[in-house]
Structure 1
Amino acid sequence: MPAPQNTFKAALKRGEAQMGCWMGLADAYVAEITATAGFDWVLIDGEHAPNDLRSILSQLRTVQASSSHPVVRLPVGETWMIKQALDIGAQSLLIPMVESLAQAEDLVAAVHYPPKGTRGVGAALGRASRFGAIEDYATTADAQICLLLQVENLAGLAELDDFLKLDGVDGVFIGPADLSADMGFLGNAMHPKVIETINDAITRIKNAGKAPGILTTDPAFQKSCLDLGASFVATDVDVFRFANAIRQAASDAKALRGG
């Protein structure tokens, strides 16, 4: 029995746009609600949300039971973190702040078993192989891992063309918030110069045959990114959605009593 097919990776290879949602509330119950919404993919955020390995695992279980595909963003691209995430069953990883070719090469190695890579051969102990029930896991897992690099500063953009030459990199996600800050426009991710830079990056990624990705809550920019060829686009964030709705609910409640 081979490793489960990564339907998200397959869709990206076919050039089919995948629409997603960011999950930062770090709770499996909330993740279950989000997973029923119908997004193609949802991101479990381990960088800016209070997630650890066990909370990521609980959300993975929940999302994998739905039609949405879980993508896990780790805090950093440490080999041991990648190994643990893969062993608990994550098949798609987004690694933040990739800045150098050497770093990108290390990430490619970390998600592949020897001889191609350096991933530790211990998945028979883990959930990824269904605790050893998937007998062919070790020989088939590599093909189902989706590695997404997050480029979010000028140093990373300077290396982008080299990243795109790497076999084993499936896509590159451009991070507007950090990129705009690095360009001198902190808090203004929609500055024209930032948009121009992002558009250029998306075009280069697409032309190299990789999947371009972005998170933006601006509908017009979402559409323009899709028109340029972005193929994994997150359009909302659970934290924003809940925070805005609950604040409005409180405001409406106070209005009922006349202020």
Structure 2
Amino acid sequence: MAAHNLLNALKANKTAFGAWLTVPGVFHARTIAQSSPHLSWIVVDCEHGLVPLVPGAAECIAAIESSKPTGAPSTIVRIPGTGVTGSTSWQIKNALDAGARGVLVPMVSTAEKAKEIVSDSKFPPAGRRGFGNPFTHGTWGITASEYINSSNDSILVMVQIETKEGVDNLHEIARVEGIDTLFIGPYDLSICLGYPPPSPDPHPEVEKVIQKILKESHAAHKKCAIYCSSGEQSARRAAEGFDMINVTSDMGAMSEGIAKHISAAMGQ
């Protein structure tokens, strides 16, 4: 079995902390991956980030997975297509063929779409994913036959709950077999519900919805994840019982770090 830090943490019921990668580049991705021994996962953002799905995601994944002899962060790819419009099938195929340990699909609003995502993420007989990429199993560090035999149980299928329709259909989405994690996008969720985006915390009415998603996820024996923008905010979410938490982003951490050190240099 290939190394999979995120999957191991979730199976052990340990909070898995991660980071968002929005800029392409092998050395950039490797630097993020080596930033902390406590980093369980990295999302390569092909939706709102500047990383192209092909070949950018594959290059980032290869850099991350080879960043440490053992225990590299698990790489999740957020695809550009959403669960609201258009087909996501080919994008899921590209993300998984690139070697991703999991796929994250934005704005999933119905159980039907969630079922389609599961089917596209798994080889037959559990799904309809095709096999043929000559690089995928090498990125995982295993043989092609080992990859085919283990990937259905190893690849994490994640859907984002961030639309009003998704909240309305939450109970049904959470109970789709094969969905591993419900991921809360607090910014789009706030906007779609008619509230301002978090600054840095969500509006109290949005917070009620966030807690509802957490409760519903766990009731369906699924993991619940959320995007945070700081370590302090992440610590509060961990105490609330979230299983998977984004702590920061590459661009956010870089900007904050430079500003902090400039201020210190100026005696501020």
The TM-score bracket by the shorter chain reads: 0.7 to 0.9
Is contact 2:196-2:203 (8 Å) kept? no
% identical equivalent positions? 25
Output aligned runs, 1:1-259, within 5 Å: 4-36=2-34, 37-38=36-37, 39-52=39-52, 53-65=54-66, 66=68, 67-76=72-81, 78-123=88-133, 125-128=134-137, 133-188=143-198, 190-219=202-231, 221-247=233-259
Provide the rounded CA distance (Å) in 2 between the counterparts of 1:157 and 1:62: 36
Q: State the Cα distance separating 1:84 from its structure 2 match.
A: 1.5
Is contact 2:111-2:176 (8 Å) kept? no
Bigger Cα Rg: 1
Structure 1: state its 5+ residue gaps.
none
- Which residue type is aligned with residue 28 of structure 2? V
Provide the aligned length of Structure 1 versus Structure 2: 252
Is contact 1:88-1:127 (8 Å) kept? yes
**TM-score, normalized by length of structure 1?**
0.88
Is contact 1:148-1:170 (8 Å) kept? yes
- Which residue type is aligned with residue 23 of structure 1? L
Is contact 1:213-1:233 (8 Å) kept? yes
Provide the rounded CA distance (Å) in 2 between the counterparts of 1:83 and 1:23: 20
Helix, strand or coil: the match of 1:147?
strand
Helix, strand or coil: the match of 1:150?
strand
Is contact 1:46-1:74 (8 Å) kept? yes
Q: State the Cα distance separating 1:115 from its structure 2 match.
A: 2.2
**TM-score, normalized by length of structure 2?**
0.85
